Amino acid sequence: MSSLADDVEAGFRRRFSYAPAGIWSAPGRVNLIGEHTDYNEGFVLPFAIDRRTFAALALRDDDVVRVSSGESDETVEVRLADAAEGPAVLDGVSGDARWAAYPLGVVWALGQLGADLAGLPGFDVHFDSDVPIGAGLSSSAAIEGALAVALNEVWRLGFDGSRLVDVCHRAENDFVGAPTGILDQSASLLSREGSALFLDCRDGSSEPVDLGLQASDLAILVIDTKVKHEHVSGGYAERRAACETAARELGVRALRDVSWPQLLAARDTLDGIVYRRARHVVTEDQRVLDTVAALRAQDYAAVGDLMFASHRSMRDDFEISTPELDLAVEISLNYGAIGARMTGGGFGGSVIALTPVSAITQVQVAIDGAFAEHGYTGPEMFLVWPSQGAHRER
Ligand code: ADP
Ligand code: MG
Residue 135 confidence (pLDDT): 80
Evaluate: CB of 99 within 6 angstroms of ligand 1. Answer: yes
Q: What is the mean pLDDT of residues 228-239?
A: 80
Residue 231 confidence (pLDDT): 64
Give residue-wise pLDDT tens across range 63-72. Answer: 999 999 999 9
184 flagged as catalytic: yes
Q: What is the mean pLDDT of residues 233-245?
A: 91
Residue 375 confidence (pLDDT): 98
Give residue-wise pLDDT tens across range 353-372. Answer: 999 999 999 999 999 999 99
Q: What is the mean pLDDT of residues 15-24?
A: 98
Q: What is the mean pLDDT of residues 331-347?
A: 96
Q: Which residue has the higher pLDDT, 364 or 136?
A: 364
Number of residues in the chain = 394
- Ligand 1 centroid vs 279 CA: distance in angstroms? 32
pLDDT at 134 over 90: no
Q: Give the closest residue (by CA) to ligand 1 atom 23.
A: 129
Evaluate: CB of 31 within 6 angstroms of ligand 1. Answer: no
pLDDT at 380 over 90: yes
Residue 16 confidence (pLDDT): 98
Residue 1 confidence (pLDDT): 54
pLDDT at 95 over 90: no
Residue 236 confidence (pLDDT): 87
- Ligand 1 centroid vs 141 CA: distance in angstroms? 8
Measured CA to CA in angstroms, residue 382 lies from 138, 332, 370 at distances of: 16, 13, 17
pLDDT at 229 over 80: no
Q: Residue-wise over 301-333: b if at least 16 C-beta within 10 A, else e?
A: ebbbbbbbbbbebbbebbbbbbebbbbbbbbbb
- Is 0.90 topped by the overall pTM? yes
Q: Ligand 1: which of 130, 133, 233, 380 to mutate, judged by most atoms within 8 Å of the beta carbon?
A: 133
* ipTM at complex level: 0.99
- Write out the residues surrounding ion ligand 2, Cβ under 5 A: 138, 140
Give residue-wise pLDDT tens across range 167-217. Answer: 999 999 999 998 888 999 999 999 999 999 999 999 999 999 999 999 999
